[in-house]
Structure 1
Amino acid sequence: MSGKQKLLGEERRKAILDLLRKEDKPIKGGQLAELTNVSRQVIVNDITLLKAKNEPIMATSQGYLYISHSAPAGAERIVACQHPPMRTEEELNLLVDHGLTVKDVTIEHSVYGDLTASIMVANRVEVANFIEKITSTGASYLSELTEGVHLHTLVGVNENQLDKAEEALKKAGFLIQTNE
């Protein structure tokens, strides 16, 4: 820690909320720790306490994000996909190349039920960072628990944009087809 004064308890959590509310992009836990002069683990605990008080904070691969209820209106869709882990980057790039944000991934686990993890990628740089974080930490993709079957929540400007991306997923063999 530096010579700065350490922010304590509620004052620190208020400062964290203020910082997150002002930003429209994620802030890394290490950056919040530096700004409040505490360890990253203290920030993790503070975020947990804030979430317990129903503050809409999302942990993403790029940092913490305050989910504003005044987000611009758009279209959102859940799609069902299946592919091996080595095609994850290809799938995510296909979606962001269509101008979409990939909000999350959900799997149906046989013991825990639905498991959802934030992804929040909207461009190729964010996809590359996400893939690098998975690779460098040795983490597994959730879809590895379900033979590659997973859902994505996609966010776009309008339904037409989502339709085009869904068609591209189908052509690339990612989309799970329903028998109609």
Structure 2
Amino acid sequence: MNTLQRRNAIKDELQNQKLISAKKLALKYGVSRQTIVGDIALLRAQGQPIISTVSGYKYQEAGTAYHGVVVCQHTIEQTREELEAIISLGGEVVDVLIDHSVYGQIVGTLGLANQADINDFMSRVKNVNHNLLASLTNGIHLHNISCSDEKVFNSIQQRLDDLHFLYHD
């Protein structure tokens, strides 16, 4: 299989699966993980709507009708509760963003859409002993949230406010 055939196969695979990791793709096609990362970058440059999440690559879903942003502040220990509140009301946590005093905006793609995604994310944070981006900004961070409509987004905002997770200046 040549490079072009591999990229086309990866594209087809991503269109037909919900999520797949670079490691699995590398094993399947007999190349390094870094080669897959490069393939994905080139597919994106060609206009393919591929996003990366904490669990792997997937196609950006076109069916989501509404996107909104929330500004939150809470302790690191409250992260799971925040994410579960969003997911339980029908939202997907697309990413997390902070405004860093030195580096400017720093964005981490999350793609958390269900409880398994949250469990995997929280396990990685705990087991690999990583710090969350919000730890750099006294817990203040933004989330892009994807959901079916504005009503669902408003419900998510209200729930986060009830939990005292929304940032109020």
Q: Say yes or no: TM over 0.5.
A: yes
Q: Does 1:168 align with 2:168?
A: no
Query: Using the alignment, how far apart are the partners of 2:121 and 2:56 within structure 1?
Result: 11
Question: For residue 61 of structure 1, what is the amino acid of its counterpart?
Answer: V
Query: Using the alignment, how far apart are the partners of 2:87 and 2:161 within structure 1?
Result: 15
Q: Extract unaligned runs of 5+ from structure 1.
A: 1-6
Aligned residues: 169
Question: For residue 50 of structure 1, what is the amino acid of its counterpart?
Answer: L
Question: For residue 165 of structure 2, what is the amino acid of its counterpart?
Answer: F
SS in 1 for 2:99: strand
Query: Using the alignment, how far apart are the partners of 2:44 and 2:130 within structure 1?
Result: 24
Question: For residue 9 of structure 1, what is the amino acid of its counterpart?
Answer: T
Q: Does 1:138 align with 2:139?
A: no
Question: For residue 111 of structure 1, what is the amino acid of its counterpart?
Answer: V
Matches within 5 A, 1:57-72: 57-68=50-61, 71-72=62-63
Instruction: Return the offset for 1:100.
Output: 1.0
Equivalent residue for 1:48, pick from 41, 44, 56: 41
Q: Does 1:95 align with 2:89?
A: no
Matches within 5 A, 1:89-128: 89-128=80-119
Query: Structure 2 vs 1, CA of residues 51 and 112 (structure 1 numbering), >3 Å: closer, same or farther?
Result: farther
Question: For residue 33 of structure 2, what is the amino acid of its counterpart?
Answer: R
SS in 1 for 2:145: strand
> More deviation in 51-60 or 151-160?
51-60
Deviation digits for residues 121-177 of structure 1 (CA, Å, limit 9, x no counterpart): 122221111111222222221111111110001111121111111111111110012
Q: Extract unaligned runs of 5+ from structure 2.
A: none
Equivalent residue for 1:26, pick from 1, 19, 24: 19
The alignment's C-alpha RMSD in Å is 1.6
Query: Using the alignment, how far apart are the partners of 1:128 and 1:18 within structure 2?
Result: 28
Query: Structure 2 vs 1, CA of residues 73 and 92 (structure 1 numbering), >3 Å: closer, same or farther?
Result: closer
After TM superposition, the score normalised by the length of structure 1 is: 0.86
Query: Using the alignment, how far apart are the partners of 1:48 and 1:96 within structure 2?
Result: 29
SS in 2 for 1:99: coil
- Partner in structure 2 of residue 39 of structure 1: 32
- Partner in structure 2 of residue 3 of structure 1: none
Query: Using the alignment, how far apart are the partners of 1:45 and 1:138 within structure 2?
Result: 27
Q: Percent identity?
A: 36
Query: Using the alignment, how far apart are the partners of 2:39 and 2:14 within structure 1?
Result: 13
- Partner in structure 2 of residue 158 of structure 1: 149
Which structure has the bigger radius of gyration?
Answer: 1
After TM superposition, the score normalised by the length of structure 2 is: 0.91
